[in-house]
Structure 1
Amino acid sequence: MKIQIKRVYEAIGAADGKRILVDRLWPRGVSKAQAQLDFWPKELTPSNALRQWYHEDIEQRWDEFQRRYQAELAEQQEALQQLRDLARQEKVTLLTAAKNAGKNHAEVLKRVLEV
């Protein structure tokens, strides 16, 4: 599979392949024309309740956030499979506005897709 993660604020690259926004909320300061998205599968983003809970204490809640988000993703098998199939055919870039490169939902989603 060819899956990478980028911040939605980074420059668009020729190697991005399909550009998929994986945030529930639209990123501030980015127009739809600037983002050049191919997909925005909101069903694969963390629920509002989970997202808000996690952002209250990112460092302390990371492990539990991963478990809870994986449980939410487990209920979205069809959408996950569609994204897996796409990533097997061509490069996919998961886009997020998250600042923390190592501890964000896009990292969890990427690991789930690669299984």
Structure 2
Amino acid sequence: MSRGKKQRKIGAFMTVLERKPKKQERLADPTSKEARRKRALEQRKKQKSVYEKAQGSQNALERDKAAGRKGTRHGGPLAAKIRKLNAAKDKPQDKAVQPDAEQDD
């Protein structure tokens, strides 16, 4: 006794087209697989080349130099306060070092 092969039945939800749609027609339909795939490829974040990465950081350093900063792009009231305190700490040490240098001469 042989078994009958299963045949694919076309249900109400499937439409059979006489001709296959062209690629441009498939891309025009926003719900088609090709259109979704193309949109995902375009939206995907692309990695920058080494040259572009270097250009980005170089421009930031140049901006920092123009602004009078030493290699940092972060700043604010707290950073200014810390710089002021550090400068105040350094001043007394500098004054203490100078008289020692004069005595040695």
Per the normalisation by structure 1, the TM-score is 0.19
- The structure whose residues are more often helix, as a share, is 2
- Which structure has more relative contact order (CA 8 Å, sep 6+)? It is 1
- The structure whose residues are more often strand, as a share, is 1
